Amino acid sequence: GEPGVFADLPALVEGDEITIDRQDGTTATFEVTKAEQYDQNTFPTLEVYGNTEDPELRLITCDGYNQATGEYEDNYVVYATLVS
């Protein structure tokens, strides 16, 4: 009955920072570079899950809720790069 952990993911915009607390006590900071909504039938798997030259983060959640079917038809992806 509560919103999921990524319920507000679409509120992130280019330039926002995401901080990750690491197990060793340090913090990794990522900067959002873009966010996209993709139809699940045309999801760009290689773009989202493919290798990158530098450390990057992808946050992915369901989106595009269809009340008629009770299912989500899209995915929402936030792309971010490591800045520190």
Per-residue pLDDT reduced to its tens digit, 18-74 = 999 999 999 999 999 999 999 999 999 999 999 999 999 999 999 999 999 999 999
What is the C-alpha separation between 72 and 74, in angstroms, rounded?
6
Q: Provide the edge-to-edge strand list for the sheet that holds 56-66.
A: 17-21, 27-39, 71-82, 56-66
pTM over 0.85: yes
Task: Report yes or no on 3 lying in a domain.
Answer: no
Indicate the number of domains in the chain. 1
Quick check: 74 and 62 in contact, CB under 8 A?
yes
Structural domain includes residue 69: yes
pLDDT for the residue 2 = 87
Tally of CB atoms within 10 A around 3: 7
Instruction: Give me the CATH number covering residue 39.
Output: 2.40.260.10
- Within a domain: residue 24? yes
Residue 46, helix vs strand vs coil: helix
* 43: in domain: yes
Domain extent at residue 16: 9-82
Say if 4 falls within a structural domain.
no
User: Dihedral sign, CA of 12, 60, 7, 56?
Assistant: negative
Residue 22 lies in a domain: yes
